[in-house]
Structure 1
Amino acid sequence: MQLYNKLSAKERAALIEQAGEHRLTLSFYAYAKIGNPKLFRNYLFLAWDSMEVLGRIYVAQEGINAQLSLPAKKFDEFKSFLDSIYFLKDVRLNIAIEHDLKSFLKLKVKVRDKIVADGLNDATFDVRNIGVHVDALKFNALMEDPNTVLVDMRNHYESEIGHFKGAVTPDVDTFRDSLDIIEEDLKEHKEDKNLLMYCTGGIRCEKASAYYKHKGFKNVFQLEGGIIEYARQVENLEVENKFVGKNFVFDHRRSERITDEVISNCHQCGKPCDSHVNCDNEACHLLFIQCEECAKAMNNCCSTACKEITALPYEEQKALRKGIPNSNKIFKKGRSSVLKFKH
């Protein structure tokens, strides 16, 4: 019984190109009690592997968080499979605004302690007592209310390239970092202000809204389906789009353009740019914003040091990074001091 990927990302990319079939990129989440996450993980992998699903899926005792792509022709089969699982029947599917055949190149279904790393002790509050879900129309109306505080529940590298007008955008690296900071900043307004939150697809707001209600906030609202669903609704309803820039996504596309405005800068030269890349030096792999001119001049690297390393033969590069962990650089997400115009 195959419960792992047999093909490399490169081999999978070649097969996708050869097939030439349209693929859909989508995401969904659901909080539910899963008694045996490992068994459920294996069940999903076997079913989705046969449907040519690729993506990154986290399963925990508290539920599932999925970001994936699949052949468009197999969408109905995929939807029927989800509907056969009691807590996933009619689950909201956030279909991507922009599709890419190679948004994912492997199927990874992983068992985790939590489906979102929030650092919270869920036993201390009622995670089901969530805020009020609002659609695009209600969200826009609440934004105009002077008694509303609009908060971006995403990280700095996400909000840097796109956010809602007038939103508070915490300068944080992780979701867990933002929770206490926001509570402290708004502690004087727990009863007299509307706390209106948004994130990429809704999952972070789901937990945050319950946490803030537990902390005493009286009027808590969250954008249903996040930025992805909002962009779809404002287009279908032909209402004002109050989001500017790009929506950061966690796949090979890295972002979806929502509006034409470019609100961020190349981290190396400072010119307007909103394209995230990873440094080509595998010992670095830093996520940062780089324009085409700097990419050419720096050979897709974040620094001169990394550029020099990538010019070496591959075996020499491999020897240099042997035994040296690079996760610290990866998760700095643009915090490196080598970036002159970093956020």
Structure 2
Amino acid sequence: MQLYNTLSAKERAALLEQAGEDRLTLSFYQYAKIGNPQLFRNHLFIAWDELDVLGRIYVAHEGINAQLSVPARNFEAFKSFIDGIYFLENVRLNIAIEHDLKSFLKLKVKVRHKIVADGLNDETFDVRNKGVHVDAQKFNELIEDPDTVLVDMRNHYESEIGHFKNAVTPDVDTFRDSLDIIEENLKDHKEDKKLVMYCTGGIRCEKASAYYKHKGFKNVFQLEGGIIEYTRQVQQKGLENKFIGKNFVFDHRRGERISEDVIANCHQCGKPCDTHVNCENEACHLLFIQCEECAKAMDNCCSTECQEIIKLPYEEQKALRKGIPNSNKIFKKGRSEKLKFKK
């Protein structure tokens, strides 16, 4: 029984290009008690592999966090399958604003300790005592209230290319880093201010809102469905859009444009730009912002050092990637000293 991918990302990309069929990019999450995450993981992989579903899915005892690419022709079958799982019936699906055939190139279903790395001990507080969920219209009203503090629960590289107007955007690398920083910065306003939070699809705010209520914040609100659902409601209901720039997404697209504003800059030359790329050197793979001109001049690399490396024979490049010191550098998010105009 196949429980793993048999095609490489390159092979899958070629097949998707050849098929040329419409695919939907979507995400969902659900906190639920899962007794045997490994068994559930295998169940999902078998069913979704048959439906040609691709994506990145995390399963844990506490629930599921899924980001997927589903063939449009198989969407109803996919929806029927998840509705047949008691804790996923009618779960909210965050459908992407922009779709791409190659948003995901493999089906990866992984068992994790947690579905979001929050660093919290869930036994110390009631994770069910969450903040008030608000829709786009109520959210717009709340963030215009002078007694509201609006907080972006995402990381620095996400908010750099797009965020809500007047939002507090912590300069952090991970979600777990932001929790204590936000509490410390707002400790004098636990009773007199409304704490309003948002993230990409809502999952980070689910846990954070319960945590902050446990920490003594009296008025805690969270944007239902995150930026993705907010954008859908704004377009559907004709509401004022208060998000500026791009919404960073965790697939090969790396971003969805929400407004025409470009609020970031190329990390190499400084010109306005909000296109995230990964360094062409696989031993680096740095995520950073790069304009088309710099991409051409730098061979899609973050530095001249990486330019030299990609010119080496493949086996020499592969040898450079070996070892813990090298692997620890991979997937850094725009923090390299080689980037002259980084945030």
Shorter chain as denominator, the TM-score bin is over 0.9
- In structure 2, the partner of 1:212 is 212
Residue-by-residue CA offset, 1:159-185 (whole Å, 9 max, x unaligned): 000000000000000000000000000
- In structure 1, the partner of 2:259 is 259
Q: How many angstroms apart in 2 are the aligned matches of 1:331 and 1:317?
A: 17
**Cα distance, 1:297 vs. partner?**
0.7
Distance 1:220 1:152, change over 3 A: same
Q: Structure 2 counterpart of 1:48, which letter?
A: W
Q: Give secondary structure in 2 for the equivalent of 1:245.
A: strand
Q: Structure 2 counterpart of 1:342, which letter?
A: K
Q: Structure 1 counterpart of 2:82, which letter?
A: L
- In structure 2, the partner of 1:281 is 281
- In structure 1, the partner of 2:227 is 227
- In structure 1, the partner of 2:5 is 5
Residue-by-residue CA offset, 1:65-86 (whole Å, 9 max, x unaligned): 0001010011110001111001
Q: Give secondary structure in 1 for the equivalent of 2:329.
A: helix
Q: How many angstroms apart in 2 are the aligned matches of 1:154 and 1:327?
A: 24
Residue-by-residue CA offset, 1:249-282 (whole Å, 9 max, x unaligned): 0000000000110000000000000000000111
- In structure 1, the partner of 2:62 is 62
Q: Structure 2 counterpart of 1:85, which letter?
A: I
CA contact (8 A) 2:310 2:317 kept: yes
Residue-by-residue CA offset, 1:78-124 (whole Å, 9 max, x unaligned): 00111100100000000000000000010000000000000000000
Q: How many angstroms apart in 2 are the aligned matches of 1:233 and 1:277?
A: 29
**Cα distance, 1:325 vs. partner?**
4.5
**Cα distance, 1:318 vs. partner?**
1.7
- In structure 1, the partner of 2:152 is 152
Q: Give secondary structure in 2 for the equivalent of 1:329.
A: coil
Q: Give secondary structure in 2 for the equivalent of 1:127.
A: coil
**Cα distance, 1:11 vs. partner?**
1.0
2:82 is equivalent to residue 85 of structure 1: no
- In structure 1, the partner of 2:116 is 116
- In structure 1, the partner of 2:20 is 20
In the TM superposition, what are the counterparts of 1:1-343 in structure 2 within 5 Å?
1-343=1-343
CA contact (8 A) 2:156 2:170 kept: yes
Q: Structure 2 counterpart of 1:319, which letter?
A: A
CA contact (8 A) 2:283 2:327 kept: no
Residue-by-residue CA offset, 1:218-276 (whole Å, 9 max, x unaligned): 00000000000001101111111000000000000000000110000000000000000
Q: How many angstroms apart in 2 are the aligned matches of 1:318 and 1:286?
A: 16
Q: Structure 2 counterpart of 1:171, which letter?
A: D
**Cα distance, 1:328 vs. partner?**
3.0
Q: Structure 1 counterpart of 2:84, which letter?
A: S
Q: How many angstroms apart in 1 are the aligned matches of 2:324 and 2:51?
A: 38
Indicate the larger mover: 304-313 or 168-177. 304-313
Q: How many angstroms apart in 1 are the aligned matches of 2:303 and 2:111?
A: 36
Q: How many angstroms apart in 2 are the aligned matches of 1:55 and 1:327?
A: 23
Q: Give secondary structure in 2 for the equivalent of 1:66.
A: strand
Q: How many angstroms apart in 2 are the aligned matches of 1:121 and 1:311?
A: 47
CA contact (8 A) 1:287 1:330 kept: no
**Cα distance, 1:19 vs. partner?**
1.2
**Cα distance, 1:317 vs. partner?**
1.4
Structure 2 residue runs of 5 or longer lacking an equivalent are none
Q: How many angstroms apart in 2 are the aligned matches of 1:327 and 1:220?
A: 39
Q: Structure 2 counterpart of 1:134, which letter?
A: V
**Cα distance, 1:316 vs. partner?**
1.9
Q: How many angstroms apart in 2 are the aligned matches of 1:78 and 1:229?
A: 20
TM-score after normalising by structure 2: 0.99
CA contact (8 A) 1:157 1:334 kept: yes
Q: How many angstroms apart in 1 are the aligned matches of 2:329 and 2:200?
A: 24
Q: Structure 1 counterpart of 2:19, which letter?
A: A
Q: Give secondary structure in 1 for the equivalent of 2:294.
A: helix
Distance 1:8 1:241, change over 3 A: same
**Cα distance, 1:312 vs. partner?**
1.5
**Cα distance, 1:324 vs. partner?**
5.0
Distance 1:11 1:165, change over 3 A: same
Q: Give secondary structure in 1 for the equivalent of 2:86.
A: coil
Q: Number of paired residues? A: 343
Q: How many angstroms apart in 2 are the aligned matches of 1:123 and 1:331?
A: 31
CA contact (8 A) 2:285 2:331 kept: no
Fraction of identical pairs, as percent: 84
Q: Structure 2 counterpart of 1:56, which letter?
A: R
**Cα distance, 1:327 vs. partner?**
4.0
Runs of 4+ in structure 1 deviating by more than 2 angstroms, as ranges, are 319-332
